[in-house]
Copies of this chain bind each other. A is one copy, B any other.
Amino acid sequence: MALIVQKFGGTSVGTVERIQQVAAKVKKFRENGDDIVVVVSAMSGETNRLVELAKQVSDGQPVPREFDVMVSTGEQVTIALLAMALIKIGVPAVSYTGNQVRILTDSAHNKARILQIDDQKLRTDLKAGRVVVVAGFQGVDEHGNITTLGRGGSDTTGVALAAALKADECQIYTDVDGVYTTDPRVVPKAQRLSKITFEEMLEMASLGSKVLQIRAVEFAGKYNVPLRVLHSFQEGPGTLITIDEEESMEQPIISGIAFNRDEAKLTIRGVPDIPGVAFKILGPISAANVEVDMIVQNVAHDNTTDFTFTVHRNDYSNAMLVLEKTAQELGAREVVGNTDIAKVSIVGVGMRSHAGVASRMFESLAQENINIQMISTSEIKVSVVIEEKYLELAVRALHTAFELDAPARQGD
């Protein structure tokens, strides 16, 4: 008998029928003898409807405190509906808002952080055999004001509840059946991972695999809450996200290949190679609220150097304006930029103990005649920037090179 926290997102509870399906699934777990806490989001579309109303009434800039009072109603409707659906099929259940549980947060409306969870009510209900249905995404500050954790915060609620209750597992139900070695739309031979570490998941998530909220993964890692990604309406074991137990001898070097096409590249050439120049270049970019991802500076030539970085494509023209001004001030030779790039990353804790992973990546790309424009590495990932049109080719080549392809099935 395990204690499981299950989180269902907006699409999984988007209609009365789906809510009834979720109730049936929860009932099955109960019948296996598990104690269940369910965290739900607002029905899909509901949060957008509320946000739209709030914007209309306040010319696009809703008061943060009142915004939270309003959007938190979305989840409040879902918890009541799911509790009703459970009771209807004979499963004792009770719903709680963030305030009722008491999920205490700080007072940063619209992006609050959970400080503490009171588990007393929940434990009493579980002991009494009830399924507890909790509103995701919301909490209450010390003054009794309703707060929200920001979009996608329901994953965080799930993990935080699992941590507070020392649950055996936190299951995140989504519209995919797990985490894949890469996007199956690009590589048909991509495989579902049965296991991945928190660190790998963080790298995969931040690189564009939008299965889980980064914050929830960080939270799960910090409190060592085993996380499992599963499909809401299909059976299957999903993917377990857990700490690196280093017990599996056959752990592959690379767990997955992440990529994105959201970035653009900017280069400032012929900058004087003096201390503080990096700050002089990136300070104004950051002041313009543009986030920088990769940064590469190579060794100097004739006392000048070249400096390249990537930003989100939406910020490209803004960043370019700022950079051109900086170039004038620094007396740089020129500024160039490029939006048709893509970033490809190989991710895996296995590379810590395996030399030559990066070079195998570069070799594989070279064999396909793909030119590498930028390189950046961390302990468990290697990222390269290439021309966008080679993206699919690169991902497929790397997927094969690192032996991630699914074995051919009979008949293939």
Contacts and interface: CB of A to CB of B under 8 A. Distances in A.
A57 B95 contact: no
Interface string A75-92: 011011101110110000
Contact of A63 (B58, B65, B77, B83): B83
A144 to B, nearest CB: 6
Contact of A59 (B58, B76, B88): B88
Interface in A46-82: 50, 53-54, 56-59, 62-63, 65-67, 69-70, 72-73, 76-77, 79-81
A206 interface: no
A63 B16 CA distance: 15
A99 interface: yes
Interface string A332-344: 0000000000000
A66 B91 CA distance: 14
Contacts of A97: 69, 146
Contacts of A84: 54, 57-58, 62-63, 66-67
A290 B326 CA distance: 84
A100 interface: yes
A95 B81 contact: no
Contacts of A294: none
A57 B58 CA distance: 34
Given A99-B99, A100-B144, A144-B100, A54 B80 contact: yes
Contacts of A144: 100
A19 interface: yes
A59 to B, nearest CB: 7
A21 to B, nearest CB: 12
B81 A76 contact: no
A63 B56 CA distance: 34
Contacts of A44: none
Contact of A76 (B19, B54, B70): B70
Given A99-B99, A100-B144, A144-B100, A81 B65 contact: no
Contact of A57 (B20, B57, B67): B20
Interface of A: 16, 19-20, 50, 53-54, 56-59, 62-63, 65-67, 69-70, 72-73, 76-77, 79-81, 83-85, 87-88, 94-95, 97, 99-100, 144-146
A50 B76 CA distance: 11
Contacts of A99: 99
Nearest to A54: B84
B69 A79 contact: yes
The 4 A-B pairs of least Cβ separation, nearest first, read A70-B80, A73-B73, A69-B80, A66-B80
A87 B69 contact: no
A321 to B, nearest CB: 32
B53 A77 contact: yes
Given A77-B70, A83-B66, A88 B50 contact: no
A94 B95 CA distance: 27
A53 B16 contact: yes
A167 to B, nearest CB: 23
